[in-house]
Amino acid sequence: MKIETIDHIGIRVADLDRAMAFYRLFGFEVVHRADNDPVAVVKNAEDVELNLVFNSNDDNGGDNILMDIPTKYPGFTHVAFRVNSVLETVQTLRDNDIEITQGPVKFGRDGHVSVFVRDPDRNTLEFRGREEDLSAIGGVQKYENEN
């Protein structure tokens, strides 16, 4: 067996309209809604596919149980999207009042920089791009080198 690529990523959300207001900022549009499951297939112009599963219950006061509570459970902690420009990504986030929860940050020595945010359901998203001059986005921590 040979895995060639990721086909899609499923993200559980509480409210599809609220989630789409967020994901639409990054170019995602609904291309299909399942008839017998609470699933919306969304894609962007580059054909990246997410399945928004809109049946979340929120009994943790808005916390993400994989990331925000002290007891750690197994599971996927975040999705990382490759972007063409971290600078443009940060500007898009700022223009839309989306809080950067970490970054821009450089991990290791591979020449990439990441910015982390949370969607409305507190799912963690990483936007990762090539290192570039980030001096134009003053006020944001430029780099944290991993030691």
Both 83 and 146 in one domain: the answer is: yes
**109: domain CATH number?**
3.10.180.10
Both 87 and 135 in one domain: the answer is: yes
pLDDT at 145 over 90: no
Q: Which of 52-56, 125-129, 131-135 has the highest mean predicted lDDT (pLDDT)?
A: 125-129
Q: Domain for residue 11, yes or no?
A: yes
- Return the pLDDT at 147: 44
**20: domain CATH number?**
3.30.720.120
- Reported as a single tens digit per residue, the pLDDT across 62-101 is 677 677 777 777 788 899 999 999 999 999 999 999 999 9
- Return the pLDDT at 57: 76
Query: Distance between CA atoms of 62 and 64, rounded to whole angstroms?
Result: 7
Both 2 and 42 in one domain: the answer is: yes
Q: Domain for residue 72, yes or no?
A: no
pTM (predicted TM-score): 0.85
Number of structural domains in the chain: 2
Residue 19: Cβ within 10 Å count: 25
- Looking at residues 46-71, what average pLDDT do you find? 81
- Looking at residues 114-127, what average pLDDT do you find? 94
**Range of the structural domain that residue 19 is part of:** 1-57
Task: Label residue 60 by pLDDT band (50, 70, 90).
Answer: low
**Which candidate, 146, 138, 67, places its Cα nearest to that of 113?**
146
- Reported as a single tens digit per residue, the pLDDT across 26-39 is 999 999 999 999 99
Assign 3-class secondary structure to 97-139. Answer: CCCEEEEEEECCCCCEEEEEEECCCCCEEEEEEECCCCHHHCC
Q: Domain for residue 66, yes or no?
A: no
Task: Label residue 133 by pLDDT band (50, 70, 90).
Answer: confident
Both 52 and 91 in one domain: the answer is: no
Both 48 and 104 in one domain: the answer is: no
* Long-range contacts, stretch 59-68, CB < 8 angstroms, 24+ apart: 62/122, 63/122, 64/118, 64/121, 64/122, 64/123, 64/124, 67/122, 67/124, 68/122
Task: Label residue 138 by pLDDT band (50, 70, 90).
Answer: low
Both 36 and 91 in one domain: the answer is: no
